[in-house]
Chain A
Amino acid sequence: MEAFKGQLDRARRGEPEALSVLYRQLLPGVFGSIAARVPDRATAEDLTSEVFVKMVEGISRLRASDEAGVAAWILQIARVTVAGYYRQRERQPAFVSLEPRFWEEEAPGANQLIYARNPDLDPAQRVEARDEWEAVVKAINTLTEEQRLVLVGRLILGYDVSTVARMLGKNANAVKALQFRALQSLQRVLGNQRAPEHALPISTSQKEDVP
């Protein structure tokens, strides 16, 4: 806690090392939260860049002094930035479009990630994996804002329940309930998109293990 506070103070003073550490710590959560709400990776990266530039410009004014407060602050910037993006495009952010056209356009970048993570996949498996991304992202967009924040905090930023609770201004039980409902909703959505025998798809490499 004290270490984080010291690091945050240094970042506030504009020390590059401290800013880098903070950036690396927060990037997965910020990118994940944005990528789950915008139609393509390029947009997600643009908006993520915008969020971190705002972070650098505004960190001296930041009042939060703990990790949860900083995460809540930057995720709020991310949320406002995404909302601004949709306002600019005069579209509603309620449901992210993951139409084939978009993913086909973004396929090269996405496929690179698939290659990087699963170098042994054949083309058919890669297509299957890509379809599964769409499904996961689409499912995430059916969640409420709080449920999404819980999943970002718990699964992407790796915070414990109490930290996420501070981040959201809720108690631990409420966060546990949100976490449970979020995963249940995802399970339901993902299950509906698949055949009954694949009601709960797990990662591509494990599909053979599903009975």
Chain B
Amino acid sequence: MKPLPDRLNDRLERRTTRSWQSEEPPDWLLSPVHTPNRDPEVDELVALALRVQSAPPLQVDPDFAGQLEQRILVRNAVLRLEGPVRGRSFPRMLRTYPLLKVALSFCLLLLLLGAWVLVAAAQVTNPGNPLHVVKHWEQQVRVSLATSPESQAELELQFAQDRLKTLVNLAVAAHSQAYRAALAELDQQLYAASRAINALPAGADHDRVESQLATLQADARHTLRGLLPQLALPERLLTTDELGHLGSTVPHLVSAEIVLPAHPNGQAIISIAGEDIQPGVQLLMNNRLRDVRGSLQNGLYVFIASWVGNQHPQSIGILNPDGTAAQTTTITLNNSDEHENGTGNGNHGGNGNGNGKGKP
């Protein structure tokens, strides 16, 4: 036999659940409690359940039910009238449309990620860093969103100043490649700033920003000259070139002539034609410093250096005492006897590998 709670429940379940809502008690409950084939203990509890179910204090007054229904419908109508704010409130929309929640979460995540990338990119100084592209892009966006040409010019100047600061941090051998990239960026940025300023109409704003550019250029010249001693030769050559762009006096080589010795292990005469070569200049051959001193003769700077074998240099350059450097690949090679006869073998324009038949 089933336990009493189950037997009681079976009796209560015998009718469909909603039958309890009917006004009149079902016949089976109205029958006498003690009848054959019934479970007396369960019968009593079922009869009690009916009493509870139909107990008047627990019944709703129909008038009250009707009035309350009207009241809540009015309240609902009022809330719907206030609706736009309530009905379309953000939290409610999120509850109503779970996909919107997912989409917004995704957007928020992207936004946070984007913000993080921008912040991280803003800290990046090394042009070799992948985030540097983002920084560059962000600066371009800022320039394009600038409200006036003056603001654009000022932004370009500000970015050029940033590039100059970056350059100082990269002026060590370990960052040679990044230094070269940063130097190129500084050049481009100064050019962009100059172009933006030139686009400004003449007037006080133009003069003011142009003065700022001049100050920045002077600062750049000073800074770059200060960096020269710590730079390796390739970076020093590029920096000298940039100093020339900035209006600084820097050496410029036009060509070099090498008169090879008549005998192996003799002395070669290297004559360099160029401008702003300072007294006390040092010779560079294939980007390496040669420990020889030269002198100015007939407008050419002439070095006499020991020569081993039949070496054909690819580049000849000089290093001024102020740290600036320049080189040329326009080199003419002559043998000493040919030189005396007024003929020679040359190579021009850069590969430095003479074929023995060229002319200066």
Contacts and interface: CB of A to CB of B under 8 A. Distances in A.
Interface of A: 12, 14, 16, 19-20, 23-24, 27-28, 31-32, 35-36, 41, 45, 48-49, 52-53, 55-57, 60-61, 63, 109-110, 112-114, 117, 129, 132-134, 136-137, 140, 151, 154-156, 158-161, 163, 173, 176-177, 179-180, 183-184, 186-187, 190, 200-203, 206, 209-211
Interface in B252-303: none
A48 B50 CA distance: 23
Contact of B60 (A31, A136, A161, A184): A31
A80 to B, nearest CB: 18
B17 A160 contact: yes
A98 B133 CA distance: 81
Given A16-B73, A158-B19, A48 B68 contact: yes
26 contacts: A16-B73, A19-B73, A19-B76, A27-B60, A55-B72, A56-B76, A60-B86, A117-B54, A129-B56, A133-B57, A137-B55, A140-B52, A140-B58, A151-B52, A154-B12, A154-B20, A154-B49, A159-B17, A176-B8, A176-B9, A179-B9, A179-B12, A180-B8, A183-B8, A190-B48, A211-B32
- Interface of A, helix, strand, loop or mixed by DSSP: helix
Given A36-B57, A200-B44, A206-B30, A27 B68 contact: yes
B162 interface: no
Contacts of A180: 4-5, 8-9, 45
Contacts of A187: 44-45, 48
A203 B44 contact: no
Given A23-B72, A133-B55, A57 B48 contact: no
Most buried by B among A45, A109, A180: A180
Contacts of B64: 45, 48
Nearest to A30: B60
Given A16-B73, A20-B69, A209-B32, A110 B56 contact: yes
Contact of B72 (A12, A19, A151, A160): A19
Interface in B58-79: 58-61, 64-65, 68-69, 71-73, 75-77, 79
Contacts of A179: 5, 8-9, 12
Contacts of A14: 76, 79-80, 83, 87
B246 to A, nearest CB: 67
Interface string B89-115: 001100110000000000000000000
Contacts of A24: 65, 69
Given A52-B72, A136-B55, A155 B87 contact: no
List 5 tightest A-B contacts by C-beta distance, closest first: A180-B5, A158-B20, A32-B58, A155-B53, A176-B5
A27 B44 CA distance: 28
A183 B48 CA distance: 7
Contacts of A49: 68, 71
A45 B55 contact: no
A93 to B, nearest CB: 16
A210 B76 contact: no
A136 B72 contact: no
Contacts of B134: none
Interface of B: 4-6, 8-9, 12-13, 17-21, 23, 25, 30, 32-34, 44-45, 47-61, 64-65, 68-69, 71-73, 75-77, 79-80, 83, 86-87, 91-92, 95-96
Contact of A53 (B8, B23, B47, B71): B71
Nearest to A42: B64
A36 B58 contact: yes
A179 B8 CA distance: 9
B58 A158 contact: no
Contacts of B5: 173, 176-177, 179-180
B51 A110 contact: no
Most buried by B among A24, A32, A55: A32
B94 to A, nearest CB: 11
Nearest to A59: B76
Nearest to A33: B58
A134 B51 CA distance: 12
Given A132-B55, A154-B12, 10 more contacts: A12-B96, A14-B76, A19-B72, A19-B76, A32-B59, A113-B59, A114-B56, A155-B52, A156-B58, A211-B34
B57 A137 contact: yes
A132 B12 CA distance: 22
A202 B77 contact: no
